[in-house]
Structure 1
Amino acid sequence: MEKKEKFTEELVDVHGTPLLRSIAEAWSQVEGFEARPDDLLIAAYPKSGVKKLGELKSPRLVKTHLPVELLPSSLWKNDCKMIYVSRNAKDVAVSYYYFYKKIKIHPKPDSWEEFLEKFMTGKVIFGSWYDHVKGWWEKKKDYRILYLFYEDMKENPKRELLKMLKFLEKDLPEETVNKILYHTSFEIMKENSTTNYTMMPEDKMDNKISPFMRKGISGDWKNNFTVAQYERFEKHYNQQMEGTTLKFRSEI
């Protein structure tokens, strides 16, 4: 049985995807979101305010964890540019587990073993990682989507930043590029109160369990998976990813 706390929200099925009840109750706002042609969407599976967006001046930066099939239709109609950031499944599972434990509204997992099983079967918020990464991968064939990999960004941040700037048709001085690289590095962002969520009230996020920005490395899954879990996960992973051209690196 899941441990229920005062602030825990139930998961609700929205068109086949498990979402928090608060998101499900505001779904009409999500579906009715009016995109603008110069909006930039940043999308990612978790650990890879609709009303307020309407008040912002263009160009707007819109962030989402939604699977591609649940995106508001106006984003496709307006041919908005989108950047999708993906990360290997095993590291995502570990990071998401710690995130689940610290966020008060998330149904608390009894154990890593239990959470891993739910992750593999897509019974977590925003659904199946496999469907998420594959859905966005296929969609990029027909729309302006830049598909990035977390592992590539860790390996060569400058190369990946230049990819983004080219995609966005931005030409920045070398000095500015270097400043962006500095301020977006994991080490600097981890100490920045505007990005590390330390200002979040304790009744919403328990940073004592684990910091929001925990390790920021590739391959941390090795410290959490048992041999048996690894073997079962790999078998399931290969079944789920069969037939796709999408490939991930589990470490760098």
Structure 2
Amino acid sequence: MADNSKFIDYIDEALEKSKETELSRLFFTYQGIPYPVTMCTAETFQALDTFEARSDDIVLASYPKCGSNWLLHIVSELIIAVSKKKHEHPEFPVLECGDLEKYQRMKKFPSPRILATHLHYDKLPKSIFKNNAKILVLFRNPKDTAVSFFHFHNDVPDIPSYSSWDEFFRQFMEGQVSWGSYFDFAMNWNKHIDDANVKFILYEDLKVNLASGVKQIAEFFDFSLTGEQIETISAQSTFQAMRARSQETHGAVGPFLFRKGEIGDWRNLFSETQNQEMDEKFKECLVGTCLGAKLKYDSYCQT
């Protein structure tokens, strides 16, 4: 199991900042996208421009609440299985979150480094592309993503809450949430989803057949594992197993990060009008695109 002590410390600090932050003051805008003031700073983004990626860095990209912590766990377990050593996260693994000196410290980290991110493709450091690091992109259907995002805000005691689901839905559709619009994120990544160094994986596919997903991830990053190792990692990486260990791995926020993990939970909150609005938005932004087809919207987002 990976050592997540630095992860827990960072989350605890962010939650402490959140206690004193009103919802209206939670975001600052950098290059047109809102980010949470409790986790990101403009100065860190400026320092990120000079970050030196390595060719063997493992980049895990996703929009918030699409399963990034789940994916991070799976990849950490793959590295442990291959290296037979405990894998540590010496820094909070989300690339754009942290202090100004983070990237200097990361120069000393052993390979492979895991770089999780919620950034658009064109906001990533140029060195990632120059050195041809592999990028695994995780997507989840937008309706379940929105509901999970809402519950995270309104269930975690120290994070600023929305007055209602209707209020959150409006902000989500307008892209006025942390890391901005789901649809802008998706359209930006769609341009590169079939690049040679990019692999797309669907949250729902992991839920339906986790072992198959773990095998695909291992093959993409050139990890040589036996079928037995794949099965072991899959058994340790089910949503239920992750939730059972969530406080140990992610601290007090763990049970909220791994709340339900269900496909179709959106049906408990979406009104018919909201359904139609998101269907129209999906049609406008993603129907006819490669990513739009891969998201299986008709299967997961139609009533």
Tell me, yes or no, whether TM beats 0.5: yes
Residues 132-171 of structure 1: matches in 2 within 5 Å? 132-171=185-224
Deviation digits for residues 108-161 of structure 1 (CA, Å, limit 9, x no counterpart): 322111111111111111111112122223213334011001111111112222
RMSD value, Cα: 2.3
In structure 2, what is the Cα distance between the partners aligned to 1:195 and 1:15?
36
Q: CA deviation at 1:183?
A: 0.9
What corresponds to 2:28 in structure 1?
Answer: 12
Q: 1:28 to 1:224 in 2, by over 3 A?
A: same
Equivalent residue for 1:61, pick from 96, 114, 122: 114
Deviation larger for 232-241 or 127-136: 232-241
**Segments of 4+ moved more than 4 angstroms:** 103-107
Contact 2:19 2:159 in 1 (8 A): no
Q: Which consecutive residues of structure 2, in runs of 5 or more, have no partner in the other structure?
A: 1-17, 67-91, 96-101
Deviation digits for residues 76-109 of structure 1 (CA, Å, limit 9, x no counterpart): 1110011110000000000011112245675432
Residues 37-56 of structure 1: matches in 2 within 5 Å? 37-48=55-66, 49=92, 51=102, 52-56=105-109
Q: Which consecutive residues of structure 1, in runs of 5 or more, have no partner in the other structure?
A: none
Equivalent residue for 1:93, pick from 146, 167, 174: 146
Contact 1:42 1:62 in 2 (8 A): yes
In structure 1, what is the Cα distance between the partners aligned to 2:271 and 2:249?
29
% of aligned pairs identical? 29
What corresponds to 1:110 in structure 2?
Answer: 163
Contact 1:41 1:83 in 2 (8 A): yes
In structure 1, what is the Cα distance between the partners aligned to 2:259 and 2:139?
17
Q: CA deviation at 1:170?
A: 2.1
Deviation digits for residues 33-80 of structure 1 (CA, Å, limit 9, x no counterpart): 211111001111001145153331111111111121211111111100
Higher helix share: 2
Normalised to the residue count of structure 1, the TM-score between the two structures is 0.86
The residue matched to 1:59 in structure 2 has which SS?
coil
In structure 1, what is the Cα distance between the partners aligned to 2:285 and 2:227?
42
- State yes or no: 1:79 paired with 2:132: yes
Contact 2:21 2:160 in 1 (8 A): no
What corresponds to 1:217 in structure 2?
Answer: 262
Normalised to the residue count of structure 2, the TM-score between the two structures is 0.73
